[in-house]
Amino acid sequence: MLGLLEHSSLVGKDSSVHQAIRECCCRHADSEGFKNVFRWFPWLKNMSSSPEKYYLAHGASEVSKQQWLHHKHSLSAECILINGKYEASLSQLPDGVLGMSLGEAQAVFSNLLRKYDVGDQPLAFFNAVCSHDFGVVLYVPEDMQMNETLCIRHVCFPLSHDDRVIYSPKIVVIVGKRASCQIQISHHTERSSGVMESFSVVNGVTEIFVSEEAEVMLTMSPKYIHEERVSWSHSVTVEERGAYSVHYDLLADVHGVGWFDNNFSLVGDHAYGETLVSILSPKQTWMRNQMYHDAASTTSQQLIKSILYSGNFSFEGGIHISSRGMFSDAHQKHDTLLLGDQASVTTFPRLEILTDDVKASHGATVGPLDLQQIFYMRSRGMTYEEAQKKLVQGFLIMHPSLKFFPKLVAQQQQDENGRTSIDTM
């Protein structure tokens, strides 16, 4: 089956790809922070020792493209990547938004594209070698206020029944000064591709650059089920008075193995960064957040809510305030409901503060549902199941800190007023 795989290349011994994965393994395979990741992602060590057994996917067949072209869920503003490759012909970008492949963007945005260190983000380092020029760079021009959500979709059309094909999507979004936008990034595997049970291995990267006074709200919605293994590295840079919020929506179809490695760099005075995570009963998922305050009067919030009936979730969250981060304000909170005997959760908060006059805090709670609340709701006529469902829904509610996003709030209000005017005509 692998011999028939279209749009892929064999990983050669001592090739740049082999050297990169070997370096990742040498640096991290036995380290305390990564040993469980290497255990659940066996392809890392296997490729290092036997590279000739692995393939890199870079694009899809014309049949797959036509299949997606007639996809009934196509949206008015979307960017499509299939098997790691940007497909301009299948994408519909909002007017004014510039989209190009990574190869085309090198000459225009090379100073903004990140260089990864294997010691800091090893799988992002590996993706940089594997993705070649096939990923996408999107540019939102200065002063543009995008009035619709841009959906960026990575879709796997697996042509193999095993885990020897690596998919390496790379998505870069550059938001110009004073611009604002809402973005949704998703990943899923097409079940109609003929492979009933997918063993897809996906190693993705997202880079977001938020310019001065720009605003970005982003939702990440990856899906990984059965034997799928998804790793995704997310890097954000926020300049002066810029604001960024990312919400990891991991409430559905997360029954495979996932690892998410997130770096947020607040490099301009009064920059704001926020990460919201909601996760429900994953099979095995890790998340590592590193929030760097590297300018004065920067603010950040990390809010993580996990509900586990089964499975395991591990969260590591760091707050790093450099000597330039005076008057910064950083908070981190991880709350968990454990609702099953087969569920487990771990959390590792870390603080590094190199200046005075800052605020920094972290906290974590783990427990069951409040039995008194359930008793009260049942006394008002609810069944136990209904009361539990209501409490779970309420626990998961999270909203961005809207005071940091005045442009997006104004745009949303304008859209709502427009719809109201149409409804009353």
Report pLDDT digits (tens) over 180-226. Answer: 999 999 998 886 545 445 577 899 999 999 999 999 999 999 998 87
Residues of the chain with pLDDT > 90: what percent?
A: 71
Res 348: pLDDT: 94
How many residues belong to the chain?
A: 425
Q: Which two tokens stand for residue 187?
A: 């990943």
pLDDT score of 3 more than 70: no
Res 424: pLDDT: 58
Query: Of 41-55, 69-83, 334-348, 391-405, which gets the smallest average pLDDT?
Result: 69-83
**Residues 6+ away with beta carbon under 8 Å from 257:** 40, 41, 224, 228, 229, 230, 283, 284, 285
Of the pLDDT bands very low, low, confident and very high (cuts 50, 70, 90), residue 227 is confident
Encode pLDDT of 112-158 as tens digits: 888 899 998 999 999 999 988 899 999 999 999 999 999 999 998 87
Q: Measured between alpha carbons, how far is 260 from 49 in angstroms, rounded to an integer? A: 24
Encode pLDDT of 376-405 as tens digits: 999 999 999 999 999 999 999 899 999 999
Res 2: pLDDT: 43
Mean pLDDT of 18-35: 92
Q: Report the chain's mean pLDDT, rounded to a whole number.
A: 90
SS3 state of residue 199:
coil
Mean pLDDT of 266-289: 96
Q: Which amino acid is at 381?
A: G
